């Protein structure tokens, strides 16, 4: 039997990274990640991915933090304490790089779903490329994606659906993960 290709090890070593070293990522690295993303398969060749890159010193970070604070206050129906606000600012600021990834809404539900699937493949390309480069990526679809004024912050005019926010940087550590054996999840007919 042939030795598995290197990509197999990259796939098995990819992690959803949450904690990063305080070390900058350069533009060549970012462009490499984005270049890998656009080579994801996409039905009808719609190229439905849109990327909004928020660097470490971007003024958009404060606007994102303010949006998170407003969302939390709305959900809790009360004003956050200064400590709670500071925690949000620190959380948004802790990632060396944020990439907000959107999917183009199609002319019907079928195309919209195909586009979203393609964008998820693009995100996987970013994750695998990052892993191969020694970087980590955290993919979030949580509260940060529900900030009401994200479209305004990014100047979005297209009909887009957010697929997630990628935190990118050098991981502080990588956890060991296991998976069920594929045989227990597979039916051969």
pTM: 0.94
Indicate the pLDDT class of residue 125, thresholds 50, 70 and 90: very high
Residue 2 has a pLDDT of 82
Kindly state the DSSP code that residue 2 receives in the 8-state scheme. P
Q: What are phi and psi of 39, to 5 degrees?
A: -95, 10
Measured CA to CA, the distance from residue 182 to residue 172 in angstroms comes to 30
Both tokens assigned to 162 = 């957010």
Indicate the pLDDT class of residue 4, thresholds 50, 70 and 90: confident
- Is the model's pLDDT at 160 over the cut of 80? yes
The per-residue pLDDT for range 140-158, each reduced to its tens digit, is: 999 999 999 999 999 999 9
The per-residue pLDDT for range 42-82, each reduced to its tens digit, is: 999 999 999 999 999 999 999 999 999 999 999 999 999 99
Q: Which CATH architecture has domain 6-172?
A: 3-Layer(aba) Sandwich (3.40)
Which residues partner with 171 through β-bridges? 20
DSSP 3-state of 18 = coil
Both tokens assigned to 70 = 């407003």
Q: Where are the domains of the chain?
A: 6-172
Distance (Å) of CA 8 to CA 109, 118, 178:
34, 21, 15
- Is the model's pLDDT at 174 over the cut of 80? no
């Amino acid at each position: 039997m042939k030795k598995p290709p290197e990509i197999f090890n990259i796939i098995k070593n990819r992690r959803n990274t949450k904690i990063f070293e305080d070390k900058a990522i350069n533009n060549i690295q970012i462009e490499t990640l984005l270049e890998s993303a656009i080579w994801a398969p996409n039905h009808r060749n719609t190229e439905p991915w849109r990327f909004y890159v928020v660097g470490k010193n971007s003024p958009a970070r404060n606007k994102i933090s303010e949006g998170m604070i407003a969302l939390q206050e709305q959900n809790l129906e009360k004003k956050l304490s200064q400590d709670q606000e500071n925690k949000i600012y620190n959380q948004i600021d802790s990632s060396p790089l944020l990439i907000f990834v959107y999917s183009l809404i199609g002319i019907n539900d079928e195309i919209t779903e195909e586009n979203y699937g393609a964008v998820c493949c693009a995100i996987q390309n970013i994750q695998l490329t990052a892993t191969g480069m020694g970087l980590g990526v955290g993919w979030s679809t949580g509260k940060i994606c529900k900030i009401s004024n994200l479209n305004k912050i990014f100047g979005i005019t297209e009909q887009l659906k957010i697929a997630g926010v990628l935190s990118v940087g050098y991981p502080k550590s990588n956890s060991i993960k296991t998976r069920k054996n594929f045989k227990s999840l597979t039916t051969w007919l």
